[in-house]
Amino acid sequence: MRAILLIGLLIISASSLATVYRWVDENGKVHYSDEPKANAEAVDLNQNTQNSMTINTPPQASVTPKETTQVSYTVTIISPQEEATIRDNNGDISVDVSVAPKLPKGAKMILLVDGVAATEPQTSTTFQLKGIFRGEHNIVVNVVAQSGKVLASSSPRKVFLHQASVFGPAKKSR
């Protein structure tokens, strides 16, 4: 059964390779058909029938690369002052920063406390820290481009956070 089916498919595929005829009618219109007509000639389809196209591109003007001037940013922590003692039982610290010149588009600032990012990157020059533990801390602000490259850093600022303790000196009883 399979052999008969295979032979039938081969016969059908061989008959589909019919000759194509081309002729021009009395109005000058070109026609193609698989049936021969008067004044028709056989078209050889074994030729390369792929379309080829060339694209003419306009000449490109010589483009000189822009000189990338490296902008030097200055980041300064305005407050708190160096070695300031901040008294806050909740551990809240406000940090104000100055940046010159203006930040480029997409650049943000990150506040690092003891070398760890303490806030999300932001464009605001005021940082609000919450829940900082008492003791000595070093604060640094980095200006970071969208690519993650650090464009500038402030000098480290040492601050002390003081929190009142419930464990005060023992009171003498009378």
List, for residues 39-98, the tens digit of each pLDDT value. Answer: 888 877 665 656 666 777 776 666 555 555 677 889 999 999 999 999 998 899 999 999
Cβ atoms of 129 and 119 within 8 Å: the answer is: yes
Q: Is the pTM of this model over 0.95?
A: no
Q: Which residue ranges make up each domain of the chain?
A: 17-44, 74-162
Name residue 159's amino acid: V
pLDDT at residue 146, rounded to an integer: 87
User: Domain spanning 74-162: which superfamily?
Assistant: Immunoglobulins (2.60.40.10)
